[in-house]
Amino acid sequence: MDRFRHPLLGGNTLWVLGLDVLLVIIFQLASANGAFLNPINVQAILTTYSQVMMLVIAQTMLLGAAQIDLSQGATAVLASVVAGTVLVSMSAGGDPGPHITLPVLFLVTIVVGLLAGVINGVLVGWLRINSLVATLGTLGIYLGTAQVITNGENLYGVPLSIQSAFGSVYLWRVPLSTLLAAVVVAVVWIQFRRGSFGTHTIAIGSSEKAAIRNGIDTRWHMVKLYSVAGALCGIAGAFDLARFTTTDIGGHGNDALAAISGAVIGGTSLFGGKVYFFGALLGALLALILQSGLVILRFPPFYQVIAIGFILILAVAIDSFRNRNEMR
């Protein structure tokens, strides 16, 4: 890997890291009794972050191929609704225990996410529908399907063992879901960096025509890419269900946009070819730090959205400024 695409420090990674640290320091100093870095608050941020990590690395890979997925939140909701329904029906005679509920939870969410991704991939890769439009369409279809399944209500009666054995479990005071998310990120990142999957993704993002002329089957690659991205959304759905033991059908409307913002703040280009996983992860963390910090400082939560808007525009401005310099 070359120094221009440094795996850890490329893109905006360093300055976003600096901004993350700065905000943590500010919120810690400004909050009463150092409430920001209180273990309970940090654990809450990390638990939410485990879902965000899945969505943001999925979105980052897609952006690498100049694709986008607006259906991420809907995919996660659909995955959790289907898994929740299966788990509810399995536990009619009582909770079957985590050795059954946890494998079922992850298997069902991953399969549903994967299938949602396959549909997105076929629409974009085979039918050549612009990804913004295709995934805006499937966003409605997946969310609507989830609502049809539950009649628009959130699911209750999901076996509590998924929470007691996973969703509320901490290892060395770190949420288990965050640790699992970190492992998934590591695996995806290494495969992307070391395998031909990443090279072909970046080639498609740089120039789809060039990729085709060099013998890459871009249609098949799109299906693979969206399937992996969909499966990651499915895992986010599993984390959500295990955390609350209920679905959150209305609570994922901003997920895809938050993931895109995080990726772009971290230096990943909207125009394809530039992929910075760690910048994206830190960019997405920025939103969570702001959200939590502003709540603790008793600001209305809307200020977080405004702040993220400013940072997003700043990041894109820096990116296009850099691009202009490179073109010379």
Partner 1 sequence: MSHADPVLEIRNVAKQYGQITALTGVNIQMFAGEIVALLGDNGAGKSTLMNIMCGALPPSSGEVLVRGEPITSLHHAQEMGIGMVYQDLALAHHLTVAENMFLGRELRSSGLAGTLGWLDSARMDRKATEEIAHLGISTLRDVRMPVRLLSGGQRQVAAIARALMWSKAALLLDEPTAALGPKQVALVLETIKTIAAKGMAVCLIAHDIPSVLAIADRLIILRRGRIVRTLPAAGQTVTSVVSMMVGENDDAAAA
Q: Residue 165's closest CA among 236, 108, 101?
A: 101
Binding mask 260-289 for partner 1 (x = CB under 8 A): ------------xxx---------------
Q: What angle do CA 277, 279, 253 make, to 5 degrees?
A: 80
| Residue nearer to partner 1 on the CB measure, 154 or 207 | 207
Applying CB under 8 A, does 130 fall inside the site for partner 1?
no
| Sole binder of partner 1 in the list 37, 156, 157, 209 (CB under 8 A) | 209
Q: How many chain residues are in contact with partner 1, going by CB under 8 A?
A: 28
173: left (phi over 0), alpha (psi -120 to 50) or beta: left
- Minimum CB distance to partner 1, residue 214 (Å): 4
| Sole binder of partner 1 in the list 1, 132, 133, 317 (CB under 8 A) | 1
- Minimum CB distance to partner 1, residue 307 (Å): 30
- Minimum CB distance to partner 1, residue 272 (Å): 8
Return the range that interacts with partner 1 (CB under 8 A); candidates 12-20, 32-40, 73-81, 201-209: 201-209
| Residue nearer to partner 1 on the CB measure, 99 or 213 | 213
Q: Residue 148's closest CA among 140, 159, 136, 156?
A: 140
Rounded Cα distance between 311 and 44, Å, is 23
Torsion 163-167-170-176 (CA) sign: positive
Tokens encoding 313? 């525009």
Applying CB under 8 A, does 195 fall inside the site for partner 1?
yes
Report whether 46 contacts 175 (CB < 8 A): yes
| Residue nearer to partner 1 on the CB measure, 78 or 203 | 203
Element (H, E) at 205: helix 196-206
Tokens encoding 124? 């974009």
What is the b/e burial string over 292-322, where b = at least 16 CB atoms within 10 angstroms of the residue's CB? bbbbbeeeeeeebeebbeebbeebeeebeee
Distances (CA, A) of 298 to 20, 21, 95, 295: 20, 20, 40, 5
First to last CA, the chain: 24
Applying CB under 8 A, does 58 fall inside the site for partner 1?
no
Applying CB under 8 A, does 29 fall inside the site for partner 1?
no
| Residue nearer to partner 1 on the CB measure, 3 or 173 | 3
Residues 215-254 touching partner 1, rule: CB under 8 A, are 215-216
Return the range that interacts with partner 1 (CB under 8 A); candidates 2-10, 33-41, 96-104, 257-265: 2-10
**Would you give the DSSP letter of residue 69?**
-
| Sole binder of partner 1 in the list 130, 214, 254, 320 (CB under 8 A) | 214
- Minimum CB distance to partner 1, residue 186 (Å): 13
Residues that bind partner 1 (CB under 8 A): 1-5, 191, 194-197, 199-200, 202-203, 205-207, 209-211, 213-216, 272-274, 326
